[in-house]
Amino acid sequence: MLYGLMAYFDAPEKLLKAIGALKEAGYRRMEALTPNPVEGVERLLGGDGRIPWVAFALGVLGAGLALFLQVYTTLDYPMNASGKPLLGWPAFIPVTFELTILTITVGIFLYLLYQNGLPLADHPAVRAPGYVRVLLDQYGLFVYASDPRFDLEATRALLESLGAEVEEVRRA
């Protein structure tokens, strides 16, 4: 079964140009695979501007939970510690700070995994014979065979005309 076509470019600029050209031609189902972050790719394939806001919300949640924890436990078992006021808020700052950071850290990590669809057991592009190169020095573009515009010959010709080395990706 044919999964799609994998195109290898030797420079990120060529990859960006190719994504633009394919989008123009009406292709929708493709994935760029690169060894490191490529600037400008989010403009073409969409990025995620929500991360700072998710982190902020997690921070508010963490701070709230931490304050609740401290106030609740103090009121539940009131104890005079070295003459400080029962709800002496300055003494609550360190724990609130640490729990806020802890909540953001764990939460944003899980959010990243969720948004990226990880952990992932298998991915068709990984079956490309030369796949390892996109983790090394090549910039890959994987076009799914399920794309409505996909045509084995025409798509291959289009990618090659954009300066790519193309491989078919099939189930072994």
92 forms part of the interface with another protein (CB under 8 A): yes
Which of residues 42 and 160 has its CB atom nearest to another protein in the complex? 42
160 forms part of the interface with another protein (CB under 8 A): no
Q: How far is CA 70 from the centre of its chain?
A: 35
Smallest gap, in angstroms, from Cβ of residue 163 to another protein?
A: 16
- Rounded to whole angstroms, the Cα distance separating 52 from 63 reads 16
Write b or e for each residue in 147-158: b if 16 or more Cβ atoms lie within 10 A of its Cβ, otherwise e: beebeeeebbeb
List alpha helices for the chain, DSSP H.
Answer: 12-24, 41-45, 51-76, 93-116, 152-161
172 forms part of the interface with another protein (CB under 8 A): no
Binding site for another protein (CB under 8 A): 11, 31-38, 41-42, 45-48, 51-52, 55, 69-70, 73-74, 76-77, 79, 81-82, 84, 88, 91-92, 94-95, 97-99, 101-102, 104-106, 108-109, 111-113, 115-116, 118-123, 125-126, 131-132, 134-137, 140
